[in-house]
């Protein structure tokens, strides 16, 4: 791609993504839906102005890394302890049920091979903690009982989802289910999870000291981007997806993540706040490129829309996606409204589901019909729950109260 063509593409992508995201938010739906629609609008499905070229793909890869860095940065391990058993029950049911049911439906009912079926199930395990947190915060319900359960469960879902993503990536690379290779991968990931945060904490101390003595502006965001890229390379060298490196880097720098190695490595809330504040513009610049790229990769003109497969497949997975998250919440010892709210709040797949789906498409595991079916399910599960939650709180909110009980 010529330089001037790339500049034009990048300009069009950023402009269209911003306009569509703004429109989506004004309509009361998550911005990610608008950015995804921007890619569909610009790509071969509609206007055909921008193609999913290699240069755009590399920018999208950076966007994924920074997105998972942001997810890790917002992750609060202590939330798992706040509501303990309730959060664990919701997280494990919301992880196991969609994975098992999604893989079974794909393999036994729709005839997909084992690895694509496992990838479909893995995609349905995701919970978008970003969308969930945003909706609860906007409704001022993040400190309620259901809010604490959802946030704790979403944290655990994120951790389990990243591990599952790495395992499925191994399956895709080997093109078979290899128990020995999977065991080795899990062992390497455990080593990475144990050592990488220590290394990241040490580097964070150096970055913090260098930032206080530097005479040039912008050292902190530049250093953090370098840290994310280095950890992505390190994760790849250890056999895990590069995405894992971005997540671990963010997790190590989060406000409430600390290591039992002395007070020097404990979290500095002020520094963590500054990291989040200064990284937001960088994340906000590159992350929309990923979602636009997902839309660019779709070509709805190649889909046989008169085929019953895509409609039955999407409908079946949508039912599985909702039931898989709601069933666990119904077992909670809470009133029925709170139980339904927990299940609904865990339903959005959002950017996390798109990461799974895009990895499956990029590695050639998914056919275009399967990929589009998953995108439809992700879009519906992302769009509908915030609207339902707003309606439920509007009708029953006065009876539930606002503060944690």
Per-position DSSP letters for 151-193, written without gaps between them: HHHHHHHHHHHHHHHHHHHHHHHHTS--HHHHHHHHHHHHHHH
Q: What is the dihedral of CA 342, 347, 349, 352, to 10 degrees?
A: 30
For 159-197, write each residue's pLDDT tens digit: 777 778 777 777 766 666 667 767 777 777 777 777 777
For 89-129, write each residue's pLDDT tens digit: 888 998 999 999 999 999 999 989 888 898 899 889 877 76
- Look at 131-135, 229-233, 273-277, 297-301 and tell me which has the smallest mean pLDDT: 131-135
Q: How far apart are CA 113 and CA 107, in angstroms?
A: 6
Confidence grade of residue 265 (pLDDT, cut at 50, 70, 90): very low
The CATH code of the domain at 3-400 is 1.20.1530.20
Confidence grade of residue 75 (pLDDT, cut at 50, 70, 90): low
Does the structure show a pLDDT above 90 at 378?
no
CB 125 within 8 Å of CB 98: yes
Does the structure show a pLDDT above 80 at 355?
no
Question: What is the pLDDT averaged over residues 334-362?
Answer: 83
Give the pLDDT of residue 192.
75
DSSP for 46-88, please give it. Answer: TT------HHHHHHHHHHHHHHHHHHHHH--TTHHHHSHHHHH
Give the pLDDT of residue 326.
92
Give the pLDDT of residue 322.
93
Q: How far apart are CA 273 and CA 309, in angstroms?
A: 48
Higher local confidence (pLDDT), 52 or 80: 52
Alpha helices in 214-305 (DSSP H): 219-237, 242-252, 269-297
Give the pLDDT of residue 148.
76
Confidence grade of residue 263 (pLDDT, cut at 50, 70, 90): very low
Give the pLDDT of residue 42.
93
Percent of the chain with pLDDT over 90: 13
Contacts 24+ apart (CB under 8 A), 185-192: 185/239, 185/240, 188/238, 188/239, 188/240, 189/163, 189/238, 189/240, 189/244, 191/238, 192/234, 192/235, 192/238, 192/240, 192/244, 192/248
Give the pLDDT of residue 87.
82
pTM as predicted: 0.70
In the Cβ-directed half-sphere of 325, how many Cα atoms lie within 13 Å? 28
Does the structure show a pLDDT above 90 at 18?
yes
- Look at 96-110, 265-279, 368-382 and tell me which has the smallest mean pLDDT: 265-279
Give the pLDDT of residue 178.
67
């Amino acid at each position: 791609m010529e330089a001037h063509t790339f500049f034009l593409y990048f300009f069009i992508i950023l402009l269209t993504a911003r306009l569509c995201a703004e429109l989506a938010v004004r309509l009361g739906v998550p911005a990610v839906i608008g950015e995804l629609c921007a890619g569909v609008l610009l790509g071969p499905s509609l206007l055909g102005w921008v193609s999913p070229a290699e240069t755009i793909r590399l920018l999208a890869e950076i966007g994924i890394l920074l997105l998972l860095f942001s997810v890790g940065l917002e992750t609060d391990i202590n939330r798992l302890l706040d509501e303990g058993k309730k959060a664990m029950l919701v997280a494990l049911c919301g992880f196991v049920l969609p994975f098992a049911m999604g893989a079974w439906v794909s393999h036994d009912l729709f005839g997909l091979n084992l690895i694509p079926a496992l990838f479909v199930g893995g995609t349905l395990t995701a919970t978008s903690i970003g969308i969930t947190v945003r909706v609860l915060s906007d409704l001022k319900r993040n400190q309620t009982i259901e809010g604490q359960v959802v946030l704790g469960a979403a944290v655990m879902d994120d951790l389990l989802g990243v591990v599952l993503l790495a395992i499925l990536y191994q399956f895709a690379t080997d093109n078979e289910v290899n128990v020995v290779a999977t065991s080795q991968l899990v062992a390497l990931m455990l080593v990475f999870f144990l050592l990488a945060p220590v290394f990241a904490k040490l580097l964070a101390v150096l970055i913090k000291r260098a930032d206080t003595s530097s005479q040039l502006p912008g050292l902190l965001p530049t250093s953090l981007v370098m840290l994310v890229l280095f950890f992505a390379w390190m994760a790849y060298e250890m056999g895990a997806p590069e995405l894992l490196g971005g997540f671990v880097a963010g997790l190590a720098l989060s406000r409430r993540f600390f290591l039992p190695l002395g007070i020097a490595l404990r979290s500095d809330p002020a520094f963590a706040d500054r990291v989040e504040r200064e990284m937001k513009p960088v994340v906000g610049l590159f992350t929309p490129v990923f979602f636009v790229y997902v839309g660019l990769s779709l070509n709805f003109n190649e889909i046989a829309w008169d085929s019953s497969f895509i409609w039955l497949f999407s409908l079946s997975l949508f039912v599985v996606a909702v039931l898989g998250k709601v069933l666990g919440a119904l077992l909670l010892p809470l009133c029925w409204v709170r139980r339904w709210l927990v299940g609904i709040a865990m339903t959005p797949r959002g950017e996390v589901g798109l990461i799974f789906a895009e990895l499956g498409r990029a590695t050639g595991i998914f056919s275009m019909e399967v990929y589009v079916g998953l995108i439809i399910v992700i879009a519906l599960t992302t769009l509908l729950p915030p609207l339902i939650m707003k309606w439920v709180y509007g009708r029953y909110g006065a009876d539930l109260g606002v503060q944690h009980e």
